[in-house]
Structure 1
């Protein structure tokens, strides 16, 4: 799994959540996009399933607390994909 593939999956799913809006980049804060904790949790679970990844609950909890940008989500998925 490449960084570009993960990035594309993250952008595609966020765009779907935002009903087709794609006026964001990797550095866009998630709260600026209107995403709350539940949205971010849904993103993480969906993307793990889509990419065939599994994270420990503690890792997901850490991500929910620290994810502030679109890029944070991509980096998290790449990190758990290394296991």
Structure 2
């Protein structure tokens, strides 16, 4: 606005001390971040050699089968 210094902050109301204390306590008790998921860099099925994936995939792999043994094996190569 006319007549105002450019260094003057547009908003100058800090958080109330009680709210700052509550936020600090919540951050201290927050759970740690999840571990890094593996990045899948290549995939193979059965006896087929690995095929590189471009771009690599970040994946969570789950498997369920009612056949024993499973008919084919899916192999994943990761960066871990």
TM-score normalised over the length of structure 1 = 0.21
In our comparison, the structure showing a higher alpha carbon Rg is: 2
Larger RCO (CA within 8 A; separation ≥ 6):
1
Q: As a proportion of its length, which structure holds more strand? A: 2
Q: As a proportion of its length, which structure holds more helix? A: 1
